[in-house]
Structure 1
Amino acid sequence: MKKSELKEFLDEKVILYNNPKFIESDPIQIPHRFSLKEDIEIAGFLTAIISWGNRTMIIRNASKMMELLDNSPHDFIINHQKKDLENLNDFVHRTFNYIDFKQFIISLKHIYSNYGGLEEVLSIKDNSKTYQTAIHNFKQLFFEVEHQQRTQKHISDPLKNSAAKRINMFLRWMVRNDKAGVDFGIWKTHNSASLSCPLDVHSGNVARKLKLLPRKQNDWKAVAELDKNLRKLDAKDPVKYDFALFGLGVFEKF
């Protein structure tokens, strides 16, 4: 397929999947329940962090998370007392359990109280064209507070060559200015051109079939390869093609 044909094919798939109907079956529906900026980003972050495995289970457990936070995540995080965390003791999503959930609440309070919130701590501070170093730095700040070692695995580090799929997905939700109303685009200090595709089994396999990704492993080197090729198709909004790759893989079994 020529580059122009590939772009036309993928642009059509973006239009097909990047629309409000997509929200109904996707974890992004959780932050869409909120209107306050801080609630949207915290709900989005916590949902993205547990977004692996069965999508129905992800949505169910992310909904339970919001209920446990009194459906007011920012207020809960800022104002909770230690005793309030006892209500989280039954929570579990695969390997993410109540110990991790409590730690995330404590770390998020640290981020919002001392660093101005998620938008600020995930911003690109150097001249980098991607979020690789920003995600690494965010992880350092997130675990500045006392924590159990086990919880660190739930935030990936691209400088250790992780694809950081879940954080990249969260960044897409917050940063990408989406005319169709799926992604939020509420982080005005960030730039969609810097976003990377959330690389998983589905998007990786489709990208390889379309010759957009030569590398076999799904790691940060693969993310960088895919970034480079998607930017050739749209330099300003490369990650819109996540909708095409995901839709082709999950819905069309491409």
Structure 2
Amino acid sequence: MKTKELKDFLDSKVALYNHPKFLETDPIQVPHDFSNKEDIEISGFLTATIAWGNRKSIINNAKKMMELTDNAPFDFIINHKKKDLDVLQSFVHRTFNGDDLVQFVKSLKHIYEHHDGLEAVFSRHAEAKSLQNAIHEFKKVFFETPHLQRTKKHVSDPLKNSAAKRINMYLRWMIRQDNAGVDFGIWKSLSPAQLSCPLDVHSGNVARKLGLLNRKQNDAKALAELDKNLRRLDPHDPVKYDFALFGLGVFEGF
């Protein structure tokens, strides 16, 4: 497929899937239950953290996390007492358990009290055309406080060759300016041009079939290759094509 042909094809798929109906089956529906900026970004971060496996299970468990934090995640994180954390111990999603959730609550409290919140941490280390170093620095800040070693695996590090799919997806949710009402675009200090496509089995396989990706592993090097090719199609909003790649893979079996 020639570049213009490929762009037209993918743009048509973006129009199809970047639509409010997308919310019905996607974990991004969970932060859409909130209106306060901090509640949106915290619920989004916790939801994205457990976004692997069965999508229905992800959504159900993300909603369970919100219930455990009294459906007021920011207030819970800032004002919880030690005894309030006991209720979180019952949580489990695959390998992410109650101990991990308690650790995440403590780390998030530290970030809001000492680093001006999630957006500020990512903004501080952002590069002109990439947030991969910002993700690496974010992980360092996230685990500045005493922490469980086991919990570190739940925050990816692109500088250790991870595609960091879940954090890149989360950043898309927060940063991408979306007139369709799916992505939030509430982090104004960062630009959609800096985003990277959340690379998983579905988007990776479709990208390979379309000639957007040659590398066989879904790792940081593959992400850099895919990013380069998506930026050629739209340098200002490259990750809108996540909707096309994901939709083609999951809904159309492309």
TM category, shorter: over 0.9
Structure 1 residue 127 displacement after superposition: 4.0
CA 252–98 in structure 1, closer or farther in 2 if over 3 Å, else same: same
In 1, Cα distance between equivalents of 2:127 and 2:110: 26
Residue of structure 1 equivalent to 2:40 = 40
Q: Deviations over 1:71-118 (max 9, x none)?
A: 000000000000000001110000000000000000000000000000
In 2, Cα distance between equivalents of 1:126 and 1:71: 31
**TM score, norm. by length of structure 2:** 0.99
Where in structure 2 are there 5+ consecutive unaligned residues?
none
In 2, Cα distance between equivalents of 1:125 and 1:168: 15
Indicate conservation of the 8 Å contact 1:124/1:131, yes or no. no
In 1, Cα distance between equivalents of 2:168 and 2:127: 18
Where in structure 1 are there 5+ consecutive unaligned residues?
none
Q: Deviations over 1:194-246 (max 9, x none)?
A: 10000000000000000000110000110000000000000000000000000
Structure 1 residue 128 displacement after superposition: 4.4
Residue of structure 1 equivalent to 2:6 = 6
Structure 1 residue 124 displacement after superposition: 5.2
User: Per the alignment, in what secondary structure is the counterpart of residue 129 of structure 2?
Assistant: coil
Indicate conservation of the 8 Å contact 1:30/1:47, yes or no. yes
Residue of structure 2 equivalent to 1:143 = 143
**102-111 or 119-128, which deviates more:** 119-128
The within-5 A match list for 1:1-254 is 1-123=1-123, 125=125, 127-254=127-254
Identity %: 72
CA 203–127 in structure 1, closer or farther in 2 if over 3 Å, else same: closer
Structure 1 residue ranges (4+ consecutive) displaced by more than 2 angstroms after TM superposition: 124-128
**TM score, norm. by length of structure 1:** 0.99
Indicate conservation of the 8 Å contact 1:175/1:190, yes or no. yes
In 2, Cα distance between equivalents of 1:177 and 1:132: 19
In 2, Cα distance between equivalents of 1:212 and 1:47: 28
Indicate conservation of the 8 Å contact 2:176/2:183, yes or no. yes
Q: How many residues align?
A: 254
RMSD: 0.7
Aligned letter for 1:69?
T
Q: Deviations over 1:36-87 (max 9, x none)?
A: 0000000000000000000000000000000000000000000000000000
User: Per the alignment, in what secondary structure is the counterpart of residue 123 of structure 2?
Assistant: coil
In 1, Cα distance between equivalents of 2:124 and 2:18: 26
